[in-house]
């Protein structure tokens, strides 16, 4: 995600790179989500039948499977806030509004299943299996549910210009160290953590709407109601946006990737499409091949600057100016590499994908001088804004907690999260860049990408890849930033 806080904008191997295309082949035998979705525009609901072919990819035998119900974060009375107090006005232009997910039934191989809604905030559905599920075995779990959308400019909800349909469905919790990871929604950052999976989605909606989504459209038909079938392979999540206002521009990049731009208020749409191509090309050259055949950049009503999902990024129609708009596009597209293909626990280690994405965005602008943003200026601006943040926090609270290695719910305020994750993350990778030099830095990016494709990176893996890529032990530098020991001035 790209956060824009306080009206100011903070911008901010030893492995050989084989170049072998086989290395980018999708993982096989993944969990499959098959969904039949009806969007009802009158009551702003989704009626969904979801057949999940869940694969136990852990080393443990499972008796239950747990799924996140992120849609319940939008319900009335939810403990976890979906936006911070200072963003409520942008998020709810028509006053507070609520939505939720109502589970109608759950079945296992066509037989009714036992389940419970649990978690700290009705955020988890736990399905009891009829028999133990051994490693590498799979089970078919079918959910029938209704999602009611809130009138909110957020990941899930309807606004004046578009309907954002993200995080609406039960998605399997990651399984680690003998348990499911069930972290609660948080208004800071992107409180998501999921594995790659395959998707077959059929969605019906009034034909006045245009759909942008993760994956590839395989068929589209109907008169008054359009029914669209989409498939997506080996993606970390599945998101869609519907709008009656979308105009669309597309081009094919390198005969492999269709670049789609959906917008309704952009006088510079040709220029924007060129920027999308330029960014994709830059990140492919300096990080690695984008393994999917489509990416969509979508203008929409959204509370923050932007938000990333696999193959689709949401860009806010409320950013201050075109320069900021382009900055958000580059940032969100970079997340296709950091977050989407290379995953990380975004709840516990937001700095991994946000810090790296923000610095790679700076690197993009440094190498594309026509945008008049140099790395030197962007880093100076990030440094200055961080110093100001630390000073203000010290004067108000006596001290500023400047550690980065914290889970989302351990940041006391949104600015504390934003400055320590995005701004300090940028400064940390900038220091590494300065120390090891551009050549070794790019080598490290490539090594980190290729060795974590479709996987989950941890802080240790990040530090190892940059250390191996440069032939230096960078652990002390990383740790001094992560633990808040380095003094930025």
The residue among 203 and 356 lying less far from Zn ion, judged by its C-beta, is 356
CA angle 380, 383, 384 (to 5 degrees): 85
Stretch that binds Zn ion, among 20-28, 202-210, 346-354, 386-394 (CB under 5 A): 346-354
The CB-of-83 to Zn ion minimum distance in angstroms stands at 16
Stretch that binds Zn ion, among 1-9, 33-41, 122-130, 314-322 (CB under 5 A): 1-9
Report how far apart, in Å, the C-alpha atoms of 147 and of each of 97, 208, 248, 293 are: 14, 21, 28, 30
The residue among 354 and 450 lying less far from Zn ion, judged by its C-beta, is 354
The CB-of-309 to Zn ion minimum distance in angstroms stands at 12
Size of the site for Zn ion (CB under 5 A): 2
Neighbour count for residue 148 (Cβ, 10 Å): 17
The CB-of-354 to Zn ion minimum distance in angstroms stands at 5
The residue among 1 and 273 lying less far from Zn ion, judged by its C-beta, is 1
The residue among 1 and 453 lying less far from Zn ion, judged by its C-beta, is 1
Stretch that binds Zn ion, among 11-19, 63-71, 154-162, 352-360 (CB under 5 A): 352-360
Stretch that binds Zn ion, among 45-53, 167-175, 348-356, 388-396 (CB under 5 A): 348-356
Closest by CA to 306, choosing from 408, 155, 152, is: 155
DSSP reduced 3-state for 185: coil
Burial 269-303 (b: 16+ CB within 10 A, else e): beebbebbbbbbebbbebbbbbbbebbbbbbbbbb
> Is residue 1 near Zn ion by the rule CB under 5 A?
yes
The residue among 313 and 465 lying less far from Zn ion, judged by its C-beta, is 313
Closest by CA to 430, choosing from 353, 363, 331, is: 363
The CB-of-107 to Zn ion minimum distance in angstroms stands at 37
Cβ within 8 Å of residue 420, ≥6 positions away: 351, 401, 402, 403, 404, 406, 411, 484
The residue among 299 and 354 lying less far from Zn ion, judged by its C-beta, is 354
* Sign (positive or negative) of CA dihedral 461, 448, 477, 189: negative
The CB-of-353 to Zn ion minimum distance in angstroms stands at 7
Closest residue to Zn ion, Cβ-based? 1
Q: Rounded to an integer, what distance in angstroms lies between the CA atom of residue 484 and that of residue 489?
A: 13
Chain centroid offset of residue 468 CA: 27
Stretch that binds Zn ion, among 21-29, 107-115, 138-146, 349-357 (CB under 5 A): 349-357
The CB-of-108 to Zn ion minimum distance in angstroms stands at 37
Closest by CA to 11, choosing from 440, 443, 419, 453, is: 419
The CB-of-357 to Zn ion minimum distance in angstroms stands at 5
Which residues lie near Zn ion (CB under 5 A)?
Answer: 1, 354
């Amino acid at each position: 995600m790209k956060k824009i806080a306080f009206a100011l904008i903070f911008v901010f191997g030893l492995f050989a790179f084989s170049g072998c295309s086989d290395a980018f082949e999708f993982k096989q035998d993944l969990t499959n989500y098959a969904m039949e979705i009806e969007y009802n525009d009158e009551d702003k609901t989704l009626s969904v039948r979801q057949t999940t072919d869940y694969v136990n990819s852990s080393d443990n035998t499972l008796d239950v499977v747990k799924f996140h119900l992120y849609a319940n974060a939008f319900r009335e009375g939810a403990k976890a806030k979906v936006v911070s107090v200072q963003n409520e006005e942008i998020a709810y232009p028509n006053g507070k509004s609520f939505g939720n997910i109502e589970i109608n039934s759950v079945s296992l191989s066509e037989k009714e299943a036992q389940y419970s809604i649990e978690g700290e905030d009705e955020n988890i559905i736990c399905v009891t299996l009829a028999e133990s599920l051994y490693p590498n075995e799979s089970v078919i779990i079918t959910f029938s549910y209704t999602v009611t959308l809130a009138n909110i400019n957020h990941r899930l909800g309807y606004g004046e210009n578009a309907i954002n349909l993200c995080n609406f469905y039960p998605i399997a919790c990651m399984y680690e160290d003998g348990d499911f990871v069930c972290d609660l929604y948080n208004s800071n950052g992107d409180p998501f953590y999921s594995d790659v999976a395959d998707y077959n989605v059929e969605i019906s909606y009034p034909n006045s709407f245009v759909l942008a989504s993760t994956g590839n459209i395989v068929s589209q038909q109907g008169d008054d109601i359009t029914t669209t079938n989409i498939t997506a392979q080996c993606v970390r999540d599945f998101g869609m946006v519907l709008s009656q206002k979308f105009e669309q521009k597309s081009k094919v990049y390198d005969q492999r990737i269709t670049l789609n731009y959906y917008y309704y208020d952009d006088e510079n749409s040709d220029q924007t499409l060129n920027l999308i191509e330029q960014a994709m090309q830059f990140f492919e050259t300096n990080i690695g091949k984008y393994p999917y055949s489509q990416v969509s950049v979508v203008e929409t009503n959204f509370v923050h600057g932007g938000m990333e999902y696999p193959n689709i990024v949401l860009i806010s129609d409320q950013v201050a100016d075109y320069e900021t708009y382009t900055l958000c596009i580059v940032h969100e597209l970079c997340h296709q590499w950091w977050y989407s293909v290379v995953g990380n626990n975004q709840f516990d280690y937001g700095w991994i994908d946000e810090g790296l994405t923000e610095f790679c965005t700076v690197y993009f602008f440094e190498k594309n001088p026509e945008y008049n943003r140099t790395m030197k200026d962007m880093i100076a601006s990030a440094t200055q804004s961080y110093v100001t943040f630390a000073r203000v926090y010290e004067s108000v609270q006596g001290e500023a907690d400047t550690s980065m290695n914290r889970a989302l719910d351990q940041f006391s305020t949104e600015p504390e999260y934003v400055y320590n994750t995005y701004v300090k993350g940028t400064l940390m990778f900038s220091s590494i860049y300065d120390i090891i030099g551009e050549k070794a830095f790019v080598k490290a990016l490539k090594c980190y990408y290729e060795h974590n494709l479709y996987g989950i990176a941890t802080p240790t893996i990040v530090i190892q890849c940059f250390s191996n890529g440069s032939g230096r032990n960078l652990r002390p530098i990383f740790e001094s930033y992560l633990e808040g020991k380095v003094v930025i001035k």
